[in-house]
Amino acid sequence: MQGYLRADGRKGIRNIVLVTYLVECAHHVARAIVTQSESEDVQLIGFQGCYPNEYSLNIMERLCTHPNIAGVLIVSLGCEGFNREQLAKTVAASGRPVETLVIQKSGGTKSTIAAGLERINSLVDVAKQSEIVTMDINELIVGTICGGSDGTSGIGANPAVGHCFDKLIEQGAACIFEETGELIGCEQIMADRAITPELGEEIMKSVEKAENYYTHMGYGSFAPGNAEGGLTTQEEKSMGAYAKSGSSKIHGLIKPGDIPSQGGLYLMDVVPDDTPLFGFPNISDNAEIMEMIASGAHLTLFTTGRGSVVGSAISPVIKICANPETYENLSEDMDINAGKVIKGEATIAQVGDEVFELVKLVASGQQSKSEELGHQESVITYKRFDAIGPSCLPTIR
């Protein structure tokens, strides 16, 4: 594979100039800059809230310094609580060019859009000079989430991704699966796979925290659509979601924005710490995808039974469809037909191998279906996390 070498030594599989807004009031201006740039390599993310939040700043810093990013334009209204100076400082420290526009100081909507287009043209020119270098599988970080799960997800798509994960990990890649709120009932078997007893204890605690969080909220991760699709219990859904992890040992427990330092399998704990302050842990699948990307994911494997059409800004999304009927209805949005397992036309290993080969192709520049269709969704919300302890990332292998 070939990648784009960044000044901080990391390698990306895409060469994107990012426009990011820091409050919903700046969203329109930022989107206009992206739209009028008429470049697929200029993409948009943003944060809607006004008051400051350490989590959102950390996630934004990680996204703006992701290896797929070549440069950043920050668009601020001017009076929001987001620390734009800190964000710009972090991006600059990574060796990426960064520009900041404050609408209240730039003359308003039209003037800021015009200034933004000038800055974007400059940033795109710099991005075109990015050094292209050889990249190996062991330099990849790959995430996986499931969305719109049904009774077929845990039979076809999820175990196929697990098979792919095992192959990636064998070749030194880092793989991230989530989320603790959808793994309730699987905590002991995950703990048994941890590389140290201390990590196993942390995994147990993280799932217990998730169960308590959802109990307090009065609603879990089992949605009406899951039931309509044939799932009957939270535990049944959890076992299907768990299948995405494959059979490798679990090397670490991370939280959004924590980046694996070496290859192996990592569980991401996306449920906020302490008592609920900001609502449900993830208000949409795209919030989870953004957290995967914030933890360095070059691409994300999205499994579904009922179907989804979303993609993502920054990093490609590969969609693996478990349900043959859904694949037929949404084939233009699906990358892999795991429904072949249900119909007896392929084994889990064969579909998993297909996913593995597509990962290499997309990492080498081939567009996923969502990229071809122009999907660049992103969601960043409010959360609060404590830092992980040394037990969560043991150094032994």
User: What pLDDT score was predicted for residue 55?
Assistant: 96
Provide the token pair at 347. 């084994």
Residue position matching structure tokens 């000038």: 118
Is the pTM of the predicted complex or chain greater than 0.75? yes
Helix, strand or coil, per DSSP, at residue 62: helix
Q: Are 178 and 165 in contact (CB under 8 A)?
A: no
Q: Are 177 and 158 in contact (CB under 8 A)?
A: no
Sheet containing strand 11-12, strands side by side? 11-12, 2-5, 131-134
Nearest by Cα to 115 from 26, 28, 30, 229: 30
User: What pLDDT score was predicted for residue 229?
Assistant: 60
User: What pLDDT score was predicted for residue 75?
Assistant: 98
Q: How many angstroms separate the CA atoms of 378 and 356, rounded?
A: 25
Task: Mark 229-261 as b/e (b = at least 16 C-beta within 10 Å).
Answer: bebeebebbbbbbbbbbbebebbbbbbbbbbbe
User: What pLDDT score was predicted for residue 132?
Assistant: 97
Q: How many angstroms separate the CA atoms of 213 and 328, rounded?
A: 37
User: What pLDDT score was predicted for residue 241?
Assistant: 80
Nearest by Cα to 162 from 345, 357, 352: 352
Fold classification of 2-133 is Rossmann fold (3.40.50)
- Dihedral angle sign, alpha carbons of residues 263, 264, 265, 271: negative
- Show me where the domains of the chain are located: 2-133, 137-392
Nearest by Cα to 340 from 323, 326, 356, 352: 323
User: What pLDDT score was predicted for residue 274?
Assistant: 86
pLDDT in tens, 219-260: 766 566 565 666 556 666 667 788 899 999 999 999 999 999
Residues in the chain with pLDDT values less than 50: none
pLDDT in tens, 364-377: 999 999 999 999 99
Q: Are 121 and 74 in contact (CB under 8 A)?
A: no
